[in-house]
């Protein structure tokens, strides 16, 4: 009889808050032993000598197989998005079960369970509420939360998607009653509409004007506002995709007075700037996502906010819109205005390599903090910890082997998503996943997804950890 189904040996393992040389023994998809020179039989061996072993990435923010809307036309199915994730070292995704106005949330979640059967990695859902009716909040929500859908997403902007403050207050109350977290896209809708109209009227419609249509003050304001609402009702919230200094400062102020507010940023805000929108021709359209990329100073401020604990999560906000074609950003035109271009970029595969390179290699964070930001804290925040996000006894054997010396030039082909471009085309990074394991099974190797039946399963999430009793 074998002691282990699989033994990963010889790697330097990021286990909890230390990086140690150790072997990992796996049985039934679960980590059952960590040891220096683990002895015992194993059905299979993986030699991780010279590799770094991290937990599988947990991506708390990805748009997959979502209803088309002028503001974003997502091109990835669960199959394509999650094979992309696997290649990039991510083994768990919290995607969105996206309610359309007038629709049942219960049915929405049921639909997404069907769609997600194609997933190559484990998954859970944020429930995007675009129509906060009493039926949704009173009748449907309790059972859905009980079934493990422990978070709600609301938008403060986008016509037909965003909900107004009074609806948000109802959502916050319902979240509080049911023990759910509320995740927020925070930008001031009216100010963006106003600035957009002014720019369009002035004929300033090239992509480079997009950031002016969504000024950081619009984000700062909305962050301050949602904090005030959540603070008054005492409900924990997570601010999605903090893009720069001003919103980060608002969050820091709130945390300092004890508000339960958590914050995420994404690699695009750390790697791209608004200058990328000023590339020749329509090329800038590839960098249209909201909130927009800001400045070098904002990047610096985000690293500082990561260091100080103001920002504790880094997700992808994977939101792949095609570039070419009628359903793409360009809609087949090379003179399209920024206000007509769907928002969103692909990024589920690039998240970890980008952050590893620009974060760890650049000296902003160490490997332990890296794993905190992309594995442990997302898992904790979304009720999946310590099953996910950590290499510990009893945790799922979701592992990523990294060759930290490998130099890679990013291309769209390497991403294995359904999108026809990557905004990171041509960027060089050092360090890349060489193998990704999901519950002990190899799902990607040497940059290629492993062909096999979908193996992802739904993760019913625990009650939200951060809610005080």
- Is residue 305 helix, strand or coil? helix
Q: In the complex, what is the shortest distance from the CB of residue 20 to a copy of itself, in angstroms, rounded to a whole number? A: 5
Instruction: Give the whole-angstrom CA distance, residue 26 versus residue 438.
Output: 11
Q: In the complex, what is the shortest distance from the CB of residue 230 to a copy of itself, in angstroms, rounded to a whole number? A: 10
Closer residue to a copy of itself in complex, CB, 231/441 = 231
Pick left, alpha or beta for residue 116 (phi over 0 → left; psi -120 to 50 → alpha; otherwise beta). Answer: alpha
Enumerate binding residues for a copy of itself (CB under 8 A): 3, 13, 15-22, 25, 30, 32-40, 164-166, 168-170, 173, 188-191, 193-195, 215, 217-218, 220-221, 224-225, 228-229, 231-232, 252, 255-256, 258, 304, 307-309, 363, 372, 376, 385-386, 390, 392-395, 468-469
Instruction: Give the whole-angstrom CA distance, residue 316 versus residue 55.
Output: 17
Q: In the complex, what is the shortest distance from the CB of residue 469 to a copy of itself, in angstroms, rounded to a whole number? A: 7
Instruction: Give the whole-angstrom CA distance, residue 348 versus residue 77.
Output: 13
Closer residue to a copy of itself in complex, CB, 392/418 = 392
Q: In the complex, what is the shortest distance from the CB of residue 295 to a copy of itself, in angstroms, rounded to a whole number? A: 16
Q: In the complex, what is the shortest distance from the CB of residue 172 to a copy of itself, in angstroms, rounded to a whole number? A: 9
CA 153 to chain centre: 13
Instruction: Give the whole-angstrom CA distance, residue 184 versus residue 190.
Output: 17
With CA atoms as reference, report the closest residue to 329 among 266, 293, 281. Answer: 281
Instruction: Give the whole-angstrom CA distance, residue 112 versus residue 427.
Output: 34
Q: In the complex, what is the shortest distance from the CB of residue 166 to a copy of itself, in angstroms, rounded to a whole number? A: 4
Closer residue to a copy of itself in complex, CB, 38/100 = 38
Closer residue to a copy of itself in complex, CB, 229/322 = 229
**Residue 451: Cβ-neighbour burial (10 angstroms; 0-12, 13-18, 19+):** exposed
Q: What is the DSSP letter of 279?
A: S
Please state, as a whole number, how many other Cβ atoms lie within 10 Å of the Cβ of residue 392: 15
Closer residue to a copy of itself in complex, CB, 392/408 = 392
Instruction: Give the whole-angstrom CA distance, residue 245 versus residue 323.
Output: 30
Residues 6 or more apart in contact with residue 369 via CB below 8 angstroms: 306
Q: In the complex, what is the shortest distance from the CB of residue 345 to a copy of itself, in angstroms, rounded to a whole number? A: 26
With CA atoms as reference, report the closest residue to 400 among 58, 21, 25. Answer: 58
Instruction: Give the whole-angstrom CA distance, residue 158 versus residue 69.
Output: 10
Q: In the complex, what is the shortest distance from the CB of residue 15 to a copy of itself, in angstroms, rounded to a whole number? A: 6
Instruction: Give the whole-angstrom CA distance, residue 174 versus residue 169.
Output: 9
Closer residue to a copy of itself in complex, CB, 202/256 = 256
**Residue 418: Cβ-neighbour burial (10 angstroms; 0-12, 13-18, 19+):** middle
Closer residue to a copy of itself in complex, CB, 29/454 = 29
Q: In the complex, what is the shortest distance from the CB of residue 436 to a copy of itself, in angstroms, rounded to a whole number? A: 21
* The token pair that represents 260 in the structure block: 């339960």
Closer residue to a copy of itself in complex, CB, 299/330 = 299
Instruction: Give the whole-angstrom CA distance, residue 441 versus residue 6.
Output: 9
For 333-440, list the strands marked E by DSSP.
Answer: 399-409, 428-438
Q: In the complex, what is the shortest distance from the CB of residue 296 to a copy of itself, in angstroms, rounded to a whole number? A: 15
Spatial contact of 193 and 214, defined as CB atoms under 8 Å apart: no
Q: In the complex, what is the shortest distance from the CB of residue 382 to a copy of itself, in angstroms, rounded to a whole number? A: 15
Instruction: Give the whole-angstrom CA distance, residue 428 versus residue 407.
Output: 7
Instruction: Give the whole-angstrom CA distance, residue 298 versus residue 257.
Output: 24
Residues 6 or more apart in contact with residue 235 via CB below 8 angstroms: 172, 173, 175, 176, 182, 260
Q: In the complex, what is the shortest distance from the CB of residue 257 to a copy of itself, in angstroms, rounded to a whole number? A: 8
């Amino acid at each position: 009889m074998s002691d282990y189904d699989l033994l990963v040996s010889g790697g330097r393992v990021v286990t909890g808050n230390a990086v140690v040389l150790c072997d990992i023994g796996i049985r039934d998809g679960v980590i059952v032993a960590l040891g220096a020179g683990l002895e015992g039989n194993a059905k299979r061996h993986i030699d991780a000598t010279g590799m770094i072993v991290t937990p599988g990435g947990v991506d708390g923010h990805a748009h997959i197989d979502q209803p088309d809307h002028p503001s974003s036309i997502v091109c990835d199915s669960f199959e394509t998005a999650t094979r992309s994730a696997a290649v990039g070292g991510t083994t768990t995704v919290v995607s969105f079960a996206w309610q359309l106005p007038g629709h049942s949330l219960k049915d929405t979640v049921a639909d997404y369970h069907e769609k997600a059967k194609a997933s190559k990695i484990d998954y859970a859902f944020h429930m995007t509420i675009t129509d906060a009716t009493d039926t949704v909040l009173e009748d449907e929500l309790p059972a859905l939360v009980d079934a493990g859908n422990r978070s709600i997403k609301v938008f403060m902007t986008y016509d037909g998607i965003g909900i107004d403050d009074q609806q948000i207050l109802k959502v916050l109350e319902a979240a509080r009653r049911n023990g759910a977290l509320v995740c927020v896209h925070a930008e001031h809708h009216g100010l963006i509409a106003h600035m957009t109209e002014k720019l369009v009227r002035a004929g300033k419609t090239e992509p480079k004007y997009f950031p002016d249509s969504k000024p950081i003050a619009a984000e700062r304001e909305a962050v301050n506002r949602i904090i005030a609402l959540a603070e008054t009702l005492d409900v924990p919230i997570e601010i999605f995709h903090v893009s720069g200094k001003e919103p980060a400062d608002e969050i820091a102020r709130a945390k300092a007075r004890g508000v339960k507010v958590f914050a995420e940023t994404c690699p695009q805000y750390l790697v791209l700037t608004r200058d990328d929108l000023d590339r020749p021709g329509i090329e800038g359209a590839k960098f249209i996502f909201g909130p927009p990329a800001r400045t070098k100073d904002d990047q610096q401020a985000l690293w500082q906010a990561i260091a100080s604990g103001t920002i504790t999560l880094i997700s992808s906000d994977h939101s792949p819109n095609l570039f070419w074609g009628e359903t793409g950003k360009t809609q087949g035109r090379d003179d399209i205005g920024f206000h007509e271009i769907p928002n969103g970029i692909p990024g589920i595969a690039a998240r970890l390599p980008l952050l590893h390179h620009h974060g760890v290699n650049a000296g902003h964070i160490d490997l332990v903090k890296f794993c905190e930001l992309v594995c442990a804290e997302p898992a904790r925040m979304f009720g999946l910890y310590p099953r996910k996000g950590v290499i510990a006894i009893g945790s799922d054997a979701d592992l990523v082997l990294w060759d930290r010396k490998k130099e890679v030039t990013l291309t769209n082909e390497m991403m294995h998503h359904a999108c026809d471009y990557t905004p990171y085309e041509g960027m060089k990074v050092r360090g890349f996943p060489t193998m990704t394991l999901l519950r002990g099974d190899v799902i990607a190797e040497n940059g290629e997804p492993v062909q096999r039946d979908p193996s992802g399963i739904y993760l019913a999430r625990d009650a939200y950890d951060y809610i005080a009793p």
